[in-house]
Amino acid sequence: MLMKKIILSLLIGLFYLHASAVEGMWIPTLLKRFNIEEMQKMGFKLTAEDIYDINHASMKDAVVLFGSGCTGELISGDGLLITNHHCGFGQIQKHSTLDHDYLSNGFWAANRKEELSNPGLTVQFLVKMEEVTSDVMKGLDNGQEDAVIQKIITENIAKIKLKFAGKEKYLADVKPLFYGNQYFVYVYQVFRDVRLVGAPPATIGKFGGDTDNWVWPRHTGDFSLFRIYAGKDNQPADYSPDNVPYHPKKFFPINLKGVKEGDFTMVFGFPGTTQEYLPSQAVKLIINQSNPTKVEIRTARLALLEKCMTADPKVKIQYAAKYANVANAWKKWQGETKGLVELHALDVKAAKEAEFMQWVNGDAARKTKYGNLFETFDRQYADLGKYQVAYDLYNEAIIRGSDVAMMVSRLDFLGKQLKDTLAFRRSKQALIQSLSFYTKDYDAKTDGEVFPALLKIFLDKVEGQFLPENVKNGLEKWKDNPRLKKIYFSSILTDTVRMKKLVTDFDANSLKKLQKDKLFALITSLTDYYSTHIEPTYNQINREIVKSQKSYLAAILEANEGRRMMADANLTLRVTYGKVEGYAPSDGVYFKHYTTLKGIMQKLDPTIADYVVPEKLKQLYESKDYAGYAGSDGEIPVAFCASNHTTGGNSGSPVINANGELIGVNFDRCWEGTMSDILFDASRCRNIALDIRYALFIIDRFAGAGYLLKEMNLIQ
């Protein structure tokens, strides 16, 4: 009976009918049709046009895609931007050395001349978005083969991009929704001169570290400040000392009154990926095979990195960003699996699929069109399962597992381009330009620990059919750690001076020399086998699955015609809304909706790196000099949680109140709700946001950079 109640509570109308008020990542252009009335009933005081308008300044003009996978927002008329500390972490780390350790000590530019440039970092403003489904589908008919269909779609998308790019003034991107049942074009203005303005020390920006990652209650000052620069015409420009701060159409006013439980909140940003419409077969594969495999390899990798980083302060700086990147998904996958199991996700999916089939079987035409979908999924996922573990093992342990393996991939690719003079020149130049960053953050001793350990895990776990003959025949020798280390450290690839010269002078003779290098030969034998014997089949099976998913979604859309449906996130601008609220993750436990500086002091433990607190912050706590930033309880607020449906990519997103004012910066989800990418549960899924008052308090009282506040519009 209990199981039945759990399943029924999670079913919404007809299998995948419109989502509840707090579930969904909604397309801005459709808010007026499907969402704004509900938002206003929940307390929102503005209009759909205040959020998204292509003819007048709106909130969309104050939100950017930061880098390749985060969100940021404008907080001044001079291009000042706030995002998460972990979103800016890579840039902060690149600027850090033992002499200027901005990770440990923080960084604050005293004036605009001291702001640090970040080659390669971009921010993108959405200019407009528009549905182009009919244009993408032009020329298609039911009788065409898959290859022909894909060719026509690709050609149509290229024409659409060319049309909307405006002679390269803009970047145009076309993305599918609902597995290709719908298409939108997104037009962006890309700014290429983005400078670091300020960041707190890691003891604030990463307080709680990996211990608290994905966990509530949270006490992390997860923010960093950047500034967008433009040419004298306020248009995008390459870096130049002559560039000036960008003047945006819109920036967010900042509310200092804070939040209370039940307040309306809206998150506006670029969520990366959700998979809400996966069939039960896919969820089973994730729970039982894919997530456990990836977690096991990353557990070993993190342990080795931590050991080396603890032993050497230089290595700690070099590998800080790499460690954080590895750890983030590692912990998320564990929470996701736990949540899916506790919510009986397989039973929930099965119940939804049974309802779907009832609808299908109610009409002869539907039965002919959709009646075999789940039998097809059974077969496809059975085929995929044979390859999924090998795919995950290769990716986690070999292809992306170590620094040297990633460098081998780039050199191998370069060698394969030797016959294409233009492509070779471009790739070689790009590799040369990246070498300074690579060598700065490469430590042979550390990577020499990681590579042999991950190779052994890989060889112990992977089935023989997924290994090249030369490795399969010498299996035990490749598991021999001392022997492998000898090969590793005798390689030209682990000597940065020799490796730099090799890349700079790279030609056909260099490739021949590399191919005699035992380490290069071992890694390329594995990666070549992967690319010829595993990846093609794995990708083909997935293409077939996507085709079935498209048919599945077409049926769901047909059944729910005229009702709102959430399209899975795909790193495009979306709106999600909910309210400030705590939650009960387990029996007898309730978490309130906010945390304070007092909680930081309660966690303080100088013997644990994650819970070290800067002396100045301790002094500020003791002095209670909180004027202008304290909450109604007299404490400095640090973070709050709310029921907005978020995912990766929403990191750094503005959290906005009912008046359209900035109240926080989104940075995480609670661990109990990380399965929300696959199955959303309104009772336990919470986004976690930095309270903007804590960021301002740190900028002003801790960093002494109060001059930055003068740029902002602060609402008392």
- Do 427 and 282 touch, CB atoms closer than 8 A? no
Beta-carbon contacts of residue 118 (< 8 Å; ≥ 6 apart): 91, 94, 194, 195, 196, 226
Place of tokens 């972990």: 86
Beta-carbon count within 10 A of 710 CB: 8
Q: Which residue's entry shows tokens 């393996």?
A: 405
Q: What is the rounded CA–CA span in Å between residue 440 and residue 460?
A: 33
Residue 60: name the closest of 268, 308, 297, 280 by CA. Answer: 268
User: Rounded to the nearest 5°, which phi and psi values hold at 682?
Assistant: -60, -20
**Cis (ω within 30 of 0) for the bond into 217?**
yes
Single out the catalytic residue among 61, 85, 86, 548: 86
Q: By the 8 A CB rule, do 657 and 267 touch?
A: no
Tell me which DSSP letter residue 247 carries: -
- Please confirm, yes or no, whether 86 is among the known catalytic residues: yes
Q: 518-529 and 403-416 are packed helices; what angle lies between their axes, rounded to 10 degrees? A: 80
- Which residue matches tokens 């000036």? 244
Q: Is 593 a catalytic residue?
A: no
The residue whose two tokens read 């079987």 is 361
Q: Can you name the residues that pair with 654 across neighbouring β-strands?
A: 665
Residue reference for tokens 């020390």:
201
Which residue is it, tokens 């939804």? 352
Dihedral, 434, 438, 441, 445 alpha carbons, nearest 10: -170
User: Which two tokens mark 382?
Assistant: 């059975």
Helix (H), strand (E), coil (C) string for 1-57: CHHHHHHHHHCECCCECCCCCCCCCECHHHHHHHCHHHHHHCCCCCCHHHHCCCCCC
Does residue 222 have an active-site annotation?
Answer: yes
Q: Which of 651, 668, 676, 681 is catalytic?
A: 651
Catalytic residue among 78, 101, 193, 222: 222
Give the H or E element holding residue 167.
none
Give the residue numbers annotated as catalytic, written as ranges: 86, 222, 651
